[in-house]
Structure 1
């Protein structure tokens, strides 16, 4: 018994623990070991119920609570599993990757497409896989789903009907779970001591450019009095229409609003490629590298709350903190 690794399981809700039709939150802790008895063979497990919510109801306050719970018991466990609904799991994974720096053990998010109580559920495998991964030398925040371990800050939900609900385009899985667990060589290692900085400023907006989008509407959004940051989801490698929009963005940047540009397809931003992208560069925006929206949102929120000095904040936004940019 004493040789088993120790794993903290934090439950936040989601399909995995739901019951009934339509699905509603169930009693997760009581059914866990009965439904997945092999968990007790994999590790010594402590279950904590953080909340029991649909993941669409989770946000920055819950991200902070999760990070604090993980950090407060840092010396007591060898790994952590966060059970989470799939719809916003990638946002939470990104948030934890930025709030918890210097990780030397795994933080694994998982969930399910069908409840633990359902026939043909994927919940049992995902839970067992996640707990086993949490006992290994994998010092990253990851998403474990359908036999894959993905870097959390690069994962996206890409399917609502298949058991392979998540993917990480452009980045190979950190591990493959088949008859054996194959850990890949690009797992990141901590370069400094563990630190928890569980702060997020939610006063940001996400502007997704589309052809014909009215400039006056975007201008009004950029002039919101409490606005602190914007994720601008641009065309191509970072272009926007040749209009007065660039001057509105430049004015927002001059007022202190941080504007981060990401691409609609998740590829690398290049603000030197075209005239319409160089205009954004000259306006003072921050290129987002290869960040997905689900990583850019928590990173910008975290940067605004954690780095009041603008020069330091912009340097942080340009840094590849957890593998989110490159």
Structure 2
């Protein structure tokens, strides 16, 4: 039988009634957990898990995922890197609010993988009668035993590439989407694995270098360029701009181009992604995007903002702001963008 490691970080899935730690009366969560009890309770609540694999359970955090920070990504990535050789796969229980950020960060920190690393969570707690948690846990465990050696998010009977995923719905059970990449696995009556799943690769040595001082800004009519320039002068080391359509930016009234020139002068790389869920940045297509490219902006292609932020953090940490970073950002490292 496969052997899986279940890493617990908190989130709605693990919440139980009556805890004052939660401010949402519909999402009350337990203050304390212990590994032995939680592992036993999971099997009691979801007995099918014991028919899929033998589980070891480890409690890393017990937090609302809104409190997840880059230091926590590093802790999680380090544990996954250390433990993955001993298991057939790893399942991470995580809150849904920042799961796409964590999945993108894990993807970039770990690189190509020999085995599956699966994140899952729920919109309603496991202990509730009507919940998505049971099926998500079962599906995540199933995917962790398959030949899908990537970081993925399992939700609503699909495994999505982690570095392509974004949360799309705060209320529905189908909380995540991967707009520019088909699911890695679809779990219907049968189990269909996509042909684009990456082949297994040996784990690279763990590299925890990561630059936290990055900023994401959504472009909108009326955005004061001085605010962007102030951010650059304040010590920001990298910037992700969510631009219009295919990467268009204002270049007349309220032009952001002088701010991008100042970013280049301060050695602050600027990555441009699209606000559109199915967008793809081509900076030369319109005047504003072409001017941004001339000012040194870097196309993020079809990356999500979550993936662009994680990649910029990791790239700056490893390579600094020079030409090597530009090559890293333009490449498809773990399938996070079309090459």
Task: Work out whether the TM-score is over 0.5.
Answer: yes
Shift of 1:101: 1.7
SS of match in other structure, 2:153:
strand
Q: What are the within-5 Å matches in structure 2 for residues 291-302 of structure 1?
A: 291-302=303-314
Q: What are the within-5 Å matches in structure 2 for residues 131-210 of structure 1?
A: 131-190=141-200, 193-210=203-220
Residue number in structure 1 paired with 2:273:
262
The gaps in structure 1 that reach 5 residues or longer are none
Distance 1:11 1:325 in 2: 29
SS of match in other structure, 1:12:
strand
Indicate conservation of the 8 Å contact 1:95/1:298, yes or no: yes
Q: What are the within-5 Å matches in structure 2 for residues 1-326 of structure 1?
A: 4-20=1-17, 22=25, 23-26=27-30, 27=33, 28-190=38-200, 193-224=203-234, 226-243=235-252, 244-266=255-277, 267-308=279-320, 310-326=322-338
SS of match in other structure, 1:25:
coil
Indicate conservation of the 8 Å contact 1:101/1:196, yes or no: no
Distance 2:201 2:47 in 1: 37
Alpha-carbon spacing, 1:15–1:268, altered in 2? closer, same or farther (3 Å): same
Indicate conservation of the 8 Å contact 1:175/1:181, yes or no: yes
Shift of 1:202: 1.1
Tell me how many residue pairs correspond in the alignment: 322
Deviates more, 1:184-193 or 1:104-113: 184-193
- CA RMSD across the alignment: 1.5
Shift of 1:150: 0.6
SS of match in other structure, 1:237:
coil
Indicate conservation of the 8 Å contact 2:115/2:200, yes or no: no
Shift of 1:192: 5.8
Shift of 1:315: 0.9
SS of match in other structure, 2:332:
coil
Indicate conservation of the 8 Å contact 1:25/1:52, yes or no: no
Indicate conservation of the 8 Å contact 1:104/1:194, yes or no: no
Distance 2:176 2:84 in 1: 28
The gaps in structure 2 that reach 5 residues or longer are 19-24
Distance 1:285 1:172 in 2: 28
Distance 1:215 1:101 in 2: 36
Shift of 1:24: 3.7
Per-residue deviation, residues 272-300 of structure 1 (Å, max 9, x unmatched):
11111111000111100101111111111
Indicate conservation of the 8 Å contact 2:84/2:115, yes or no: no
Indicate conservation of the 8 Å contact 1:10/1:50, yes or no: yes
Distance 2:150 2:214 in 1: 26
Distance 2:296 2:333 in 1: 21
